[in-house]
A and B are shown apart, each in its own frame.
Chain A
Amino acid sequence: MSMIDIPTSGKASASSELGRSLEASSGRIFSRKSRLSFYNRTFRIICIASAVFVCMILFSILFLMGRTGILTFDTVSVKDFFLSTEWVPENDQYGAFIFIFGTFALTLLTMAISVPLSVIIAIFLSEMTPGWLKTALRPVLDLLVGIPSVVYGFLGLTVLIPMLRTVTGTNMGDGILAAAIVLTIMVLPTISRITDDSIVAVPKKYRDASYALGATRFQTILKVVLPAARSGIMYAVILGMAHAIGETMAVVMVIGNTPQLADALFKPTSVLTSNIVMQIANVPFDSTWNDALYLMGFILLVISLLMIVIVRLIQGRGVKA
Chain B
Amino acid sequence: MKRKWLKGMALTLMALAVAFGTVSSAGAASKLSGRIVINGSSALLPLTLQAANEFKKLNPKVRISASAAGSITGPQSVRKGIADIGAVDWDASKDVPGFKKFDGQVAHKVAVIPFAAVVNSGVGVSGLTTSQLQGIFSGKITNWKDVGGSDADIIVVNRAFGSGTRVNFQMKALAGKDFMTKGSNYKEVKSSGDMKTAIETTPNAIGYIDLVYVTSKMKAVKINNVAPTEANVINGSYKVWGYGYYMTKEQPTGATKAFIDYVQSKKFQTGSLKKLKFIPISAMK
Contacts and interface: CB of A to CB of B under 8 A. Distances in A.
Contacts of B23: none
23 contacts: A90-B98, A90-B161, A157-B197, A171-B185, A172-B155, A172-B187, A172-B202, A253-B194, A257-B160, A257-B189, A258-B182, A259-B181, A268-B184, A268-B187, A277-B190, A278-B160, A278-B188, A282-B73, A282-B161, A282-B162, A284-B72, A284-B76, A285-B76
A279 B76 contact: no
Contact of B188 (A158, A172, A256): A256
Given A281-B70, A283-B162, A267 B184 contact: yes
A43 B205 CA distance: 63
Nearest to A173: B202
B80 A89 contact: no
Nearest to B73: A281
Nearest to B204: A171
Contact of A259 (B73, B155, B182, B189): B182
Interface of A: 88-90, 157-158, 161-162, 165, 171-172, 174, 252-253, 256-260, 264, 267-268, 277-279, 281-285
Contact of B197 (A158, A165, A257, A283): A158
Interface residues of B, number: 33
Contacts of A279: 160-162
B163 A282 contact: yes
B186 interface: yes
Contacts of A259: 181-182
Residue from B98, B186, B197, B203 having most chain A Cβ neighbours under 10 A: B186
Interface majority SS (helix, strand, loop, mixed), chain B: loop
Contacts of A252: 190
Interface string B186-222: 1111100010011001111000000000000000000
A250 B230 CA distance: 36
B98 A258 contact: no
Contacts of B80: 285
Contacts of B183: 258, 260
B69 interface: yes
A287 to B, nearest CB: 10
A161 B98 contact: no
A262 to B, nearest CB: 11
B256 to A, nearest CB: 22
Contacts of B203: 165
A258 B187 contact: yes
Nearest to B205: A172
A283 B190 contact: no
A275 to B, nearest CB: 10
Contacts of B69: 281
B153 interface: yes
A282 B181 contact: no
Contacts of A162: 201
Nearest to A159: B201
Given A171-B155, A283-B72, A278 B190 contact: yes
Contact of B182 (A90, A260, A281): A260
A178 B190 CA distance: 18
Contact of B187 (A88, A165, A256): A256
Contact of A282 (B70, B182, B201): B70
B161 to A, nearest CB: 6
Contacts of B198: 157
A283 B202 CA distance: 29
Contacts of A284: 72, 76, 99-100
A259 B198 CA distance: 18
Nearest to A267: B184
Interface in B127-177: 153, 155, 160-163
Contacts of A282: 70-73, 160-163
Nearest to A88: B181
Given A253-B194, A282-B71, A161 B201 contact: yes
Nearest to A253: B194
B40 to A, nearest CB: 11
Contacts of B72: 281-284
A268 B186 contact: yes
Nearest to B202: A172
Contacts of A256: 187-188
A288 to B, nearest CB: 14
A264 B185 CA distance: 13
Residue from A157, A162, A260, A268 having most chain B Cβ neighbours under 10 A: A268
A68 B19 CA distance: 48
Contacts of B153: 171
Nearest to B42: A281
